[in-house]
Structure 1
Amino acid sequence: MLEQSPLLTREKVLRDPIHDYIYVQHQVILDLINTKEFQRLRRIKQLGTTSLTFHGAEHSRFTHSVGVYEITRRICDNFQRNYPTKEAGDGLWDDSEKLVALCAALLHDIGHGPYSHTFEHIFKTDHEAITAQILTDPSTEINQVLAGVSTDFPAKVASVIQKKYPNPQVVQLISSQIDADRMDYLLRDSYYTGTNYGTFDLTRILRVMRPYKGGIAFDINGMHAVEDYIVSRFQMYVQVYFHPISRSMEVILSHLLHRAKYLYENNRLGLEDSPKLLIPLFENDFSLDDYLQLDDGVLTTYFTEWRQNTDTILSDLAVRFLDRKPFKSIKFDANTADLLPDLERLIESAGFNPEYYTAENDSYDLPYDAYDPTKDKPRTQIELAQEDGSLVELSSVSDLVASITGKVSGDRRFFFPRELLKSEDDLFVDIYNQFRTYINNDNLIHPKEITQHDN
């Protein structure tokens, strides 16, 4: 069955700092934007705790989602103009796929919880699974809008996001190593963080994209624009997404919620500080409606109440998070990891419970990974289309991309209270300097003399 949605009598536009205008042409897209589930995304920050490092990063999952929709719309229109299918199975673009692609692009993040990935890690939720549930549950406004297209349309849109949809072109538009999702968040996050690391030539990349039977390829004469995108992504992860202060605030947030959960489970939280909307998550027995009531503001309200809690750990962590008092961190690797137990004991002797005041955190990413079918989750490699129509994998012709292919970027860090930097304990100073000397080749100095440039 060919899914169709009536076009608006006059297209709607949303002003956007990244794409100028976002064009809404189908009634179903406008109806989806106006659902309560989609409007909830206005209340969830795209970058979670990153705004505590880059103060401009206040943008939401809503703004990102409509941006992904807009990029997908442009790609579909370009494919229909330049690569329309002429006969079944020719590998060109079938415009009957446009509506499912647009809806999947718009709704790909609908299942994110407050503070996104930190929340997901703590409560063991899966935003993609919840996204599929929102799309297919008849009780949601999202499902009711999608079902108005056809009875099986909600499941089709969900299958795109779950990477099970039979047309690889549609799946790769939303999820691949160079897709509408990544292209929007790199440009948008770069803009709102006030950095230039994520900028690349979007117009050129969209121009050189082309469909083929196995998915999406790029004209080889656009290789340098693709290289620029790969490098931009690498820089954003190293300079923004893996920033140690953002990770420190994620650690504090995680410990704060873990402490609240522990106190609730042991009947020590107190009725006045009982987080009614979080209790189903604490009990791991929540409905979809329970989940959808949560957003960043709900959690922040509970954190504000916990400032005054009689449990000193909970109240202190709430203060640290709300007032932006990050932990200090230091890099470690296999050669220095054996020092961590001694450091934890010293921190405990200083009066800090290591369970809530220390953490080991690693953040790694592959800037680009050539396809390897032996991996658990092989990535779709970037294919370049040569003049004779044959395809060649990006890293095999790009020296720049080859130099970073398969090379993991990131580090491992140990987090602890910043107050320990004032320690007069000789053993602490000695261990701390061993970390700094090995990792950074720094000269031995007392921790109190370290500049606070990373605040």
Structure 2
Amino acid sequence: MMLPREKVLRDPVHNYIHVTHKVILDLINTPEFQRLRRVKQLGASSFTFHGAEHSRFTHSVGVYEITRQICDNFQRNYPTQTPGDGLWDDHERIVALCAALLHDLGHGPESHTFEHIFDTDHEAITQAILTSPETQINKVLKEVSPEFPEEVASVIGKTYPNPQVVQMISSQIDADRMDYLLRDAYNTGTKYGMFDLTRILRVMRPYKSGIAFQSDGMHAVEDYIVCRFQMYQQVYFHPVSRSMEVVLNHLLHRAKYLYEHGQMSASQTPTLLVPFLENNWDLTNYLKLDDGTLTTYFTLWRDHPDDILCDLASRFLDRRPFKSVRFTPETRYLIPDLTKLIEEAGFNPEYYTAINDSYDLPYDAYDPSSKEPKTQIELMEQDGTLEELSTVSPLVGAITGKSTGDERFFFPREMIHPDELQLFEPLYQKFQSYLHNDNLIDPQNQL
């Protein structure tokens, strides 16, 4: 299974991605994995942070590389001595590496927006790609063993029997999160995600129930938690990125409406999207989609006779985001009045207004009663005792279980730039009076 000579991929985050197993190189070279080059990692965030053009491909090989380093550390420092001792069995290495590499295989174009509209699930699709005999990925995995595709899929599905392998790929501090924080920080030009990866990998260790961190590495873990918090607030929840996602969401909804009502000409029908518009798609249909596919259809729709579809396509392609105001439970009552004014200005509120919220828990302590309980971060003392992170870290304890984010009302920028629409002056003044109400926060003014 080993290559005669190690292959390396140059990487801006990890310097080199080291490939020593033939199965990893073969998986990278499959059409299903190469498709990830054409799917952006951060979707609409590239409209806010122009450097964020990196792909799911680069992220996936980065997650593989971090997982490889974890396996090396575990094998060097914590190799199993007797069955069931809770230390690292290096026979698990290949399933961990393959799951790390392939964990995002099922992401579609424009990622979560596409999922929301067409009711797809990228994790379920990832598992289907791994286990379908029709895919090249499946054929490569079966060269390891006939059961191997299902084993890798079970890691993605969090049912694999070894919790160490599952937590490497999916936990509150895993290879996936560590790579996307570092990679997204690098490509957006921000510094919030620059935690000490080397130190965190150094203090990770296996134990019977999963992965823990040496107690003397607590500050490195704290730094990671704070970096994640900052990245969500400053990058992932940025109001302009959310605005472009709203435009995209409305654009796809309008296309779906027109198709269902027979208002798409043959030349402007999105042929590759038809199976999804009709809710009758399979893996072959899904794997034909990438960001370029959607961009091509958006370009065609610039000339569509439907004014709404045409306008939304142009707004998305030309980066003309909606504006937004932040509101609270106390100011929510103003939204119907704002919506009515927008409709009076000639905009269909179904496609030109939206309420969008973005909330995240910086750290969520384990709660077995939760619908989806998360693995907690455990610190291990020298005597082997375990303590949950938030109980010993005042910093993490202060933000544990506290969601952060806001709710925003989105609307066309013409409502506050009347020269672009020639708004009737009293209508403009009335809209302004609501925005400058003492209880409503003024619109954000980022580019």
TM over 0.5: yes
2:430 corresponding residue in structure 1:
427
Structure 2 contact 378–386 (Cα < 8 Å) conserved: yes
1:12 corresponding residue in structure 2:
7
RMSD, aligned CA = 1.0
Distance 1:390 1:334, change over 3 A: same
From 119, 133, 136, give the equivalent of 1:138.
Answer: 133
From 279, 283, 286, give the equivalent of 1:288.
Answer: 283
Q: Secondary structure at the match of 1:41?
A: helix
Aligned mates of 2:10, 2:431 — CA distance in 1:
54
2:91 corresponding residue in structure 1:
96
1:190 aligns with 2:185: yes
Aligned mates of 1:362, 1:291 — CA distance in 2:
28
Describe the superposition over 1:15-50 as per-residue Cα deviations: whole angstroms up to 9, x where unpaired. 000000000000000000000000000000000000
From 317, 328, 335, give the equivalent of 1:333.
Answer: 328
Describe the superposition over 1:154-195 as per-residue Cα deviations: whole angstroms up to 9, x where unpaired. 000000001011111000000000000000000000000000
Describe the superposition over 1:218-262 as per-residue Cα deviations: whole angstroms up to 9, x where unpaired. 000000000000000000000000000000000000100110010
Matches within 5 A, 1:396-435: 396-421=391-416, 422=418, 424=425, 425=427, 426-434=429-437
1:438 aligns with 2:439: yes
2:69 corresponding residue in structure 1:
74
1:266 corresponding residue in structure 2:
261
Structure 2 contact 434–440 (Cα < 8 Å) conserved: no
Please, which moves more after superposition, 328-337 or 187-196? 328-337
Report how far residue 439 of structure 1 moved.
4.8
Aligned mates of 2:268, 2:383 — CA distance in 1:
68
Report how far residue 430 of structure 1 moved.
2.1
Aligned mates of 1:439, 1:257 — CA distance in 2:
30
1:166 corresponding residue in structure 2:
161
Aligned mates of 1:246, 1:236 — CA distance in 2:
13
Structure 2 contact 164–211 (Cα < 8 Å) conserved: yes
Structure 2 contact 45–241 (Cα < 8 Å) conserved: yes
What is the identity, as a one-letter code, of the residue corresponding to 1:47? Answer: L
What is the identity, as a one-letter code, of the residue corresponding to 1:395? Answer: S
From 35, 38, 41, give the equivalent of 1:40.
Answer: 35
Report how far residue 438 of structure 1 moved.
2.2
Distance 1:290 1:105, change over 3 A: same
> Percent same amino acid among aligned pairs?
71
Aligned mates of 2:212, 2:238 — CA distance in 1:
33
Describe the superposition over 1:42-86 as per-residue Cα deviations: whole angstroms up to 9, x where unpaired. 000000000000000000000000000000000001000000001
Aligned mates of 1:411, 1:24 — CA distance in 2:
42
Aligned mates of 2:440, 2:406 — CA distance in 1:
11
Describe the superposition over 1:251-294 as per-residue Cα deviations: whole angstroms up to 9, x where unpaired. 00010011001000000011110110000010010010000000
Matches within 5 A, 1:207-222: 207-222=202-217
What is the identity, as a one-letter code, of the residue corresponding to 1:431? Answer: Y
Distance 1:325 1:292, change over 3 A: same
What is the identity, as a one-letter code, of the residue corresponding to 2:173? Answer: I
1:372 corresponding residue in structure 2:
367
From 234, 256, 259, give the equivalent of 2:251.
Answer: 256
* TM-score relative to the length of structure 1: 0.95
Q: Secondary structure at the match of 1:388?
A: coil
What is the identity, as a one-letter code, of the residue corresponding to 1:337? Answer: R
Aligned mates of 1:143, 1:336 — CA distance in 2:
53
Aligned mates of 2:217, 2:439 — CA distance in 1:
43
1:308 aligns with 2:311: no
Aligned mates of 1:121, 1:204 — CA distance in 2:
37
Q: Secondary structure at the match of 1:278?
A: helix
Unaligned runs of 5+ in 1: 1-5, 443-449
Count of aligned positions: 439
Q: Secondary structure at the match of 1:412?
A: strand
Report how far residue 337 of structure 1 moved.
1.1
Structure 2 contact 380–386 (Cα < 8 Å) conserved: yes
2:341 corresponding residue in structure 1:
346
What is the identity, as a one-letter code, of the residue corresponding to 2:331? Answer: T
Aligned mates of 1:42, 1:192 — CA distance in 2:
15
What is the identity, as a one-letter code, of the residue corresponding to 2:332? Answer: A
Q: Secondary structure at the match of 2:272?
A: coil
Report how far residue 453 of structure 1 moved.
3.8
Report how far residue 333 of structure 1 moved.
1.7
From 134, 146, 152, give the equivalent of 2:147.
Answer: 152
Structure 2 contact 67–100 (Cα < 8 Å) conserved: yes
Q: Secondary structure at the match of 1:413?
A: strand
Aligned mates of 1:330, 1:54 — CA distance in 2:
21
Q: Secondary structure at the match of 2:356?
A: strand
Describe the superposition over 1:75-109 as per-residue Cα deviations: whole angstroms up to 9, x where unpaired. 00100000000111100001010000000000000
